[in-house]
Amino acid sequence: METRAPFVIVGAFVLAAILAVFGFVFWLHNTSGIGARTSYHIQFRDPVPGLLVGAAVLFNGIRVGEVTALGLATDDPRRVNATIAVATDTPVRPDTRVGLDFQGLTGVPVVALEGGKDLTGSAIATTLIAEPGAGMSMTQAAREALRKVDSVLGENSQPLKETIGNLKTFSEWLSNKTGKLDGILGGVERMTGANEPVVKKVVYDLQPAKGFPPPTKSIRGQLTIPEPTTVVLYDSQKMLLAPGLELPAFAGAQWSDSIPKMLQEKLIQSFENYDIAHPPLRPNDAVQPDYQLLIDLRSFQIAGREAELVAEVAFGAKIIDKGGKLVAARLFQQSSKLGNPEPAAAVAAFETAFDATAKALILWTVDSLATGAGEARPVTPGSSGTTKGR
């Protein structure tokens, strides 16, 4: 007996130590530490699947206690009563929301408490009411949603059937009207231009007149050239074609500026090429002019037949003194043949026609306002200086 006593004592000590460790772990798990506890009663109006005594209680996601009791309400078979014990400093209020949360891969249920805005009073000795559907898991919620969808479809099966039938009838009607629909869509495309191919714009510039001999006469006084007047048709950057003339190659051809502004700029540059010492100015250059050269654009387009296309440049010119008196007037017109029915050849023809008209205009203006010529003699407004180019 004496030899066996130490083994019995050792075995008893080891067993007691194991039981103590398990007891401490169980106590620590269920009490979440040492401290006073406050109990609250909770009423669940729905089933609480998987909720057990000892389950954790979370407040705003932080563990504050555990479930201490669960039971069924004797007066309502659908209601479940639960008792929880939480730390006394947990800010539970009468309006604190109560629900169930499912954590982990296995979906272990825990009691979840959230906030509350009522800062007065306390929930002690009161019963917290869980929100409807608080014990419903995601699977159950999905099943409930599908059940409701199935109920709605079942209650509206006849209207849905009629709607599908109407859609079928409408699709059959559309299939029979395909030809008319194609015509309508084609008309819309033509109206909006969606059926037209994308045209690449190419910008061309006009060269001023040049190649003048040394000037023998100069313009007397300060001359300004306002922007030419014209009809709306010529107030455009497009390389214009005469009415009835269709040349697809010119669809994207356009000038560097609107035709009146470009003509004003090129006439001023042409005068500078003739005599840079006495150039004309624009009216907005803050200079009081002695004379104004008024240009009325009459034509700046491609005309003729497709086999014999010409570039036309025509305008009327009037010289007005600072008192508004007409000093001289004349018409200028020039045409030049196109080598080919294409924009590059048209630009070359326009430059030839413009060069001739600009030189004629400059010599006429200089002759009318020449230095030392005395008062220029008025030219009859109806006189013409029309020239033709080859």
Q: The whole model's pTM is what?
A: 0.49
In a domain, 154, yes or no: no
In a domain, 15, yes or no: no
User: What are the start-end ranges of the H helices in the chain?
Assistant: 5-31, 138-155, 157-176, 178-192, 259-274, 343-368
Rounded Cα distance between 123 and 134, Å, is 19
Nearest to 70 by CA among 94, 31, 43, 45: 43
Residues 223 and 346 occupy one common structural domain: yes
Give the chain's domain count.
3
Question: What's the CA angle centered on 226, arms 223 and 228, to 5 degrees?
Answer: 130
In a domain, 351, yes or no: yes
Residues 213 and 179 occupy one common structural domain: no
pLDDT tens-digit profile of 75-99?
A: 888 888 888 888 888 888 878 888 8
Query: Using an 8 Å Cβ cutoff, are 262 and 324 in contact?
Result: no
Q: Taking residues 152-169, what's their average pLDDT?
A: 83
Residues 364 and 223 occupy one common structural domain: yes
**Token pair listed for 367:** 């002759």
Give residue 44's domain range: 32-139
For residue 306, pLDDT beyond 60: yes
Query: Using an 8 Å Cβ cutoff, are 69 and 85 in contact?
Result: no
> Residue 238 maps to which CATH number?
3.40.50.10610
In a domain, 172, yes or no: yes
Query: Using an 8 Å Cβ cutoff, are 267 and 201 in contact?
Result: no
Residues 242 and 359 occupy one common structural domain: yes
Q: Taking residues 160-178, what's their average pLDDT?
A: 81
pLDDT tens-digit profile of 317-373?
A: 999 998 899 999 999 999 999 988 899 999 999 999 999 999 999 999 999 887 434
Residues 337 and 190 occupy one common structural domain: no
pLDDT at 314: 96
